[in-house]
Amino acid sequence: MTDTPAPAPAGKRRIKIWDVPTRVVHWLLAIAFGVAWWTAEVSKADAHMEWHRWAGYSILGLVVFRIYWGLVGSQTARFSHFLKGPVTTGRYFAGLLRRDSKVSLGHNPMGGWSVAAMLALIGAIVVLGLYAIDVDGFEGGPLADRISFDLAREMAHWHHLLFNVALGLIALHLVAIAFYLLVKRENLVGAMITGAKPNPDGEGAPKFAPFWRLAVGVVVSFGIMWFVSKGLKF
């Protein structure tokens, strides 16, 4: 987790900004959300609803871990590092079209708030799905039997509605990635794959969290995921 890339020519030195847990969670969330979308919107086969549920459980565990990592993880993964106030965010937005604007060490102010919004939205979708049930009352989340059928159907309605909102945010996310690549010449995808990016401003490398914090986060998030999948029963 503390490995550093090989030195690069002056002015183009690359530094490690994203640790392994942050990158792995990012890509696993993308895969799990894709599976959830395919099983619900494309396949729609009853046999695939179990896949849909397990995709949801996986997303729940990943969101729990990302929130945990945003509190005690590596420097660039922490909410305190990338959630900026309205003045800072507004100034960044005002200079968005300038190619000579400062490259952020980690998420930029707008990107940071988009991460928080996506985590909150996906978390809400998963919670609603835990209580949702289909119109026939056969397929539902592990907690659907704890509320009335009508309320569970309402949960299903909002689960589907917010899922579509999330698809819209993902589309905006992809547009933003293309904008940064084509206009600002910043490869966000490459950085999230390798963990490194150019550091023209000469900032020092961020601090990375020790392994024991990762181990605790994995155990806690997996435990919560398992407990919820069992309907809050041991």
d(CA 4, CA 208): 11
pLDDT tens column, 163-215: 999 999 999 999 999 999 998 888 999 999 999 988 756 667 889 999 999 99
Q: How many whole angstroms from its chain centre is CA 34?
A: 13
pLDDT tens column, 163-176: 999 999 999 999 99
Question: Whole-prediction pTM value?
Answer: 0.90
pLDDT tens column, 53-77: 999 999 999 999 999 999 999 999 9
Type of residue at 89: T
**Nearest Cα to 24, choosing from 219, 227, 218, 226?**
218
Provide the pLDDT for residue 18. 95
- Tokens at 87, concatenated: 């003045």
Between 95 and 234, the more confident residue is 95
Residue 192, exposed/middle/buried by CB under 10 A (0-12, 13-18, 19+)? Answer: middle
